[in-house]
Chains A and B, each alone.
Chain A
Amino acid sequence: MTDKSLQIDHQMNIKIVKEKLIKGIIYFSVFLTFGIVLWILLHIVFNGVIKSGNIDIIGNESILPMIMNTFYIVLLAVSISTPIGIWTAIYLNEYAKDNKLVHLIRFAIQSLAGIPSIIFGLFGMIVFVVGLNLKWSILAGALTLSIMILPIIIKTTEEALKSVPLSIREGSMALGASKVKTIKGVVIPSALPGIIISVILSIGRIVGETAAIYLTAGMVPRAAVSPLDSGRTLSVHLYLLAKEGISFEKAYFTATILVVFILCINLISNRLAKKFSEKLKAN
């Protein structure tokens, strides 16, 4: 063999080793991503289940009030935000033209989605807690969160509306239905699974939210009766337990409930999304 071919051989070898190394790094990264998720979920749920035996689930230490408060805030925030979100999505997808105002609306929605929750918390404190004198209450928390989930509802609903085929709209209009009748009678029903997904996603966001609720709904560990009562949600409860280090057993248990809830939400929205895309394909 000549010197030159040896050199080329050598270069090829370096190249092959280099490519193997890069592939190795890629596989390692995937393993890390996957491993981290598994580690977090197993660690929380495993400890949560094991240590829950020591907790008096029904008595004084019950987390039932926190679950009820969370539910209360979810219900209020979703009922405030869903109609506004859907109407906005309808405007953007069915009416909007490519003009300055529409660009501004889209910019506003995008900006809302990028604001950190602690800023929403500050805003809620200034306007709802102090300004409207709602004090630390379920209602102040729900109003704040309804702003936070608005971008999610608008975006997901708009995607759903977009995926409704034009032929469906044209068919309805050809039968003499007006635009609004077409939207209400044909477009919305076809996009309903997507709209439901948007609500489910925002429920997940509310249940997991801490900073904004902490500053607006307060931390009274009792089930709120009136929307003007202060009430601690599950995630605020977990935060306080972890921060004060009072009981990691209870913290694990609360975290487990949160994680299981998020798992369910993921499962349901995935199922719905699958059904939705199958239905659209059938159309």
Chain B
Amino acid sequence: MKKSNWQEKLNEKLYLISALISIALILSITLFIFIKGVPAIKEIGIKNFVLGTKWKAGDGQYGILPMIVGSIYVTIGACLVGVPIGLFTAIYLSEMANKKTADFLRKVVELLAGIPSVVFGFFGLVSIVPLIDKFFGGGGNSLFASSIILGIMILPTIISISEASIRAVPKEYREGSLALGSTHIDSTFKVILPSAKSGILASIVLALGRAIGETMAVILVSGNTPLIPHSIFDRVRTLTSNIAIEMGYAYGLHQGALFATGVILFVFIMIINGVFLVFNRKAGELNDR
């Protein structure tokens, strides 16, 4: 009896320690990224680093404003492409499709979610980029191409989370609206969607995080010129690509500046995750009602 009691305790401790590993990991990731990046920011000067418009590693110029702007533009572009398509698809799945069609389409969306990002990038490089070059000129590697590819990549996130939150709206809401004489479309857009707002916003914020953090797909279609783009057909470099492209051969302050780029990216992600948690909690409260 005593021995088994001791084993029980040991197992419970093992489970607890495993669970604590996640906390240790997130803490050490944050810590190490900042420890490696912050000294470089100090050496370059935070103003020169964040607001500097010139990135020339050879001349010791490390301004990442073009990459910050690039990341923001690309993310907004991805949302412009992905949010409407995703949201309307989610409305179809939850409100209009019969069960068989919905099940099939959901599998298709799952498949889209599983496609590796480098495959998206390669697909963009061989099909989207030449198309843009053909119709608009300029080579095709551009902010526009990145927005389209990222817009496609965030579709599964938008569709699955929005659909779930639309489904979570109580049946009575729709029935009440229909009983008052409004049409199906009317009830969907004026009653159901406003009730599912928090969940839909959560899906968009999560998609923002995906888009701003994506690396390989963007590198292959964006052109990677470290300048602030002035048109959607300009080449663009994001924070993530800046790290991935130059990390292989960087050393000294250059390497530090790349870790510092990681710090800025990390700050963006933390803000986005924080906003997501707020919306998600609101959506959860709504669903619990």
Q: Are B18 and A84 in contact (CB under 8 A)?
A: yes
CB 8 Å contact bits of B199-221 with A (1 = contact, 0 = none)? 00000001001001111100110
> Complex: how many Å from CA A119 to CA B213?
9
Residues of A within 8 A of B215 (CB): 116-118, 210-211
Q: A126's closest neighbor in chain B, by CB?
A: B32
Instruction: Tell me which of A27, A37, A251 contacts B112 (CB under 8 A).
Output: A37
Can you list, as one digit per residue, whether each of A109-143 has a CB less than 8 Å from chain B (1) or not (0)? 11110111111111101110000000000000000
B122 x A91 contact (CB < 8 A): no
**B32 to chain A: closest CB distance in Å?**
5
Query: B247 contacts which chain A residues (CB < 8 A)?
Result: 122, 125, 215
Within 8 A of B (CB), among A226-246: 235, 238-239, 242-243
Q: Is the CB of A262 within 8 A of B108?
A: no
A263 within 8 A of B: yes
A residues near B277, Cβ cutoff 8 Å: 107, 110
Taking chain B's interface residues, is the majority helix, strand, or loop, or is none over half, making it mixed?
helix
A36 cross-chain contacts in B, Cβ below 8 A = 112, 152, 155
The answer to whether A262 and B114 have CB atoms under 8 Å apart is: yes
How many angstroms between the C-alpha atoms of A115 and B22 in the bound complex? 13
Segment from A3-11, A18-26, A54-62, A187-195 that makes contact with B:
A18-26
Chain B interfacial residues counted at CB < 8 A: 81
Counting CB contacts under 8 A, is B115 at the interface? yes
**CB-CB < 8 A to A105: which residues of B?**
19-20, 22-23
Complex interface bits, A25-44 against B, C-beta within 8 A gives 1, otherwise 0? 11111101110110111011
**B269:A238 contact, CB within 8 angstroms:** no
Segment 9-49 of B: residues with Cβ below 8 Å from A: 11-12, 14-23, 25-29, 32-33, 36
Q: B159 within 8 Å of A by Cβ?
A: yes
B105 on the A face (CB < 8 A) = yes
Whether A199 sits at the interface, judged by CB under 8 Å, is: no
Q: Which residues of the partner chain A approach B152 to less than 8 Å between Cβ atoms?
A: 36, 40
Interface centre among B8, B85, B186 (most CB of A within 10 A): B85
Offer 5 A-B interface pairs, CB within 8 angstroms, sorted by A: A43-B126, A114-B272, A114-B273, A118-B243, A211-B244
Residues of B within 8 A of A (CB): 4, 7-8, 11-12, 14-23, 25-29, 32-33, 36, 84-89, 91-92, 96, 105, 107-112, 114-123, 125-127, 152, 155, 159, 183, 185-186, 189, 206, 209, 212-216, 219-220, 240, 243-244, 247, 259, 262, 265-266, 269, 272-273, 276-277
A residues within 8 Å of B by Cβ? 15, 19, 22-23, 25-30, 32-34, 36-37, 39-41, 43-44, 47, 83-85, 87-88, 90-92, 94-96, 104-105, 107-112, 114-123, 125-127, 147, 150-151, 154, 178-180, 204, 207-211, 214-215, 235, 238-239, 242-243, 248, 251-252, 255, 258-259, 262-263, 265-266, 270
